[in-house]
Amino acid sequence: MSAKISYKDAGVDIDVKESLLERAKGAIRKSFTPGVLGDIGLFGGLFDPARVGFGDAILVATADGVGTKLEVARRARVYDTVGWDLVNHCINDALVQGARPLFFLDYVAMGKLQPEVVGALITGCAEACRASGLALIGGETAEMPGVYKEGDFELAGFLVGAVKREHLLDGSRVRPGQVLLGLTSSGLHTNGYSLARRILFDQLGLELGARPAELGGRTVQEALLAIHRPYLEPLWPLIEARRLAAMAHITGGGLPGNVNRVLGSCDALIDREAWTPPGLFQLLVRGGDLDPDEAYRALNMGIGMVLIVEESEVASVSAELERRGERVHRIGRTVAGRGEVRWGRP
């Protein structure tokens, strides 16, 4: 007769998973907003949009991951910042539709649960939610031996926001003659890390603690793990005042692969000389001998968000954003076309 075997013997420890939830409850509850119904541990999170002013609104849902930035976090043994990255990325994806984020759910999976890693990942998500005024109302932590190698893990997230119908940004207000304003990124954000790791670690042979001149005193680790910034706080007043025709969050695909999503029957003419890419991007272009078109397609090149505004609004919108600490670059103009991004001086 074969020996008895337990779930733990097969590689899944339910007790560890339950203890992780207990550890995270404090950070999660701190993110709760007035719209949250119930407590942690239900089969699904409950949220009442009417409690936060969105009783008759359109819901906007988005999902994303952190990509191979997770490999840098694993290598550096710094895990909380990628939780912030994940939440902020999803916030920006909802924001460009004119939506206010309401709640968030996380998903963490690894081969064998490591409490300190999972705790940092979830805490990062909860703190980022609290900082931007949305609630972390649920999630899933999965232990999957045989699927993930030791030390590997996955982090994904799901966000729901709401937009009042009159504030919806869907590209329908874009027309020729409008101006593109670029807001600076805080680094690579959550895209381009497979390319960046190949260049920095494999081709240039740099370590995490290296300080190449282009980084201005920062280490490679600090530059690569710089948190993907949210644009909610500076942009929300402009959305409510209906002063923006459209927005584009610059993620995978760079400027040409994201601005085109909101152009409709217009083209965008963007001047790559309108701003100077920060040192990290200069290092990657030099170290990888990147063709400019490839660089601007794979990386955000220092522009994390693009606003499309009327010419008459450019000065006042720029001044308002600069008062809130933003660096604003006039990077292009919309022209008649077919929904494409073209390079050149407007």
Question: Would residue 172 count as lying in a domain?
Answer: no
Could you say which of 167, 194, 222 is where a domain stops?
Answer: 167
Say which residues have a Cβ less than 8 Å from residue 130's Cβ, sequence separation at least 6. Answer: 30, 31
CA distances from 345 to 98, 104, 185, 225, 252 (A): 29, 40, 22, 33, 24
Determine the Cα–Cα distance for residues 224 and 186; give it in Å rounded to an integer.
10
Q: Are residues 324 and 186 in the same domain?
A: yes
Question: Would residue 199 count as lying in a domain?
Answer: yes
Provide mean pLDDT across the span 119-136.
95
Task: Say whether pLDDT at 135 is over 90.
Answer: yes
If phi > 0 it is left, if psi is from -120 to 50 it is alpha, else beta; for residue 326 that is: beta
Determine the Cα–Cα distance for residues 270 and 256; give it in Å rounded to an integer.
9
Question: Would residue 224 count as lying in a domain?
Answer: yes
- Please report, for the domain that includes residue 26, its CATH number: 3.30.1330.10
Question: Would residue 66 count as lying in a domain?
Answer: yes
φ/ψ (deg, to 5) at 265: -95, 10
- Please report, for the domain that includes residue 258, its CATH number: 3.90.650.10
Provide mean pLDDT across the span 183-205.
97
Question: Would residue 7 count as lying in a domain?
Answer: no
Could you say which of 167, 196, 218 is where a domain stops?
Answer: 167
Determine the Cα–Cα distance for residues 282 and 201; give it in Å rounded to an integer.
16
Could you read off the pLDDT of 204-239 as tens digits, one per residue? 999 999 999 999 999 999 999 999 999 999 999 999
Q: Are residues 117 and 194 in the same domain?
A: no
Q: Are residues 62 and 124 in the same domain?
A: yes
Question: Would residue 201 count as lying in a domain?
Answer: yes
Could you read off the pLDDT of 301-317 as tens digits, one per residue? 999 999 999 999 999 99
CB–CB of 281/301 below 8 Å? yes
Could you say which of 167, 190, 210 is where a domain stops?
Answer: 167
Q: Are residues 200 and 327 in the same domain?
A: yes
Q: Are residues 157 and 212 in the same domain?
A: no
Euclidean distance between the first and the last CA atom of the chain, given in angstroms as a whole number = 80
Q: Are residues 200 and 280 in the same domain?
A: yes
Determine the Cα–Cα distance for residues 149 and 138; give it in Å rounded to an integer.
26
Q: Are residues 229 and 160 in the same domain?
A: no
Q: What is the pLDDT of residue 24?
A: 66
Determine the Cα–Cα distance for residues 331 and 270; give it in Å rounded to an integer.
6
Question: Would residue 2 count as lying in a domain?
Answer: no
Could you read off the pLDDT of 33-71 as tens digits, one per residue? 887 766 766 546 666 788 888 888 899 999 999 999 999
Determine the Cα–Cα distance for residues 194 and 68; give it in Å rounded to an integer.
6
Q: Are residues 192 and 339 in the same domain?
A: yes
Q: Are residues 89 and 223 in the same domain?
A: no
pTM: 0.90
What percent of the chain stands above pLDDT 70?
90
Count structural domains, the chain.
2
Q: In terms of residue numbers, what domain contains 124? A: 14-167
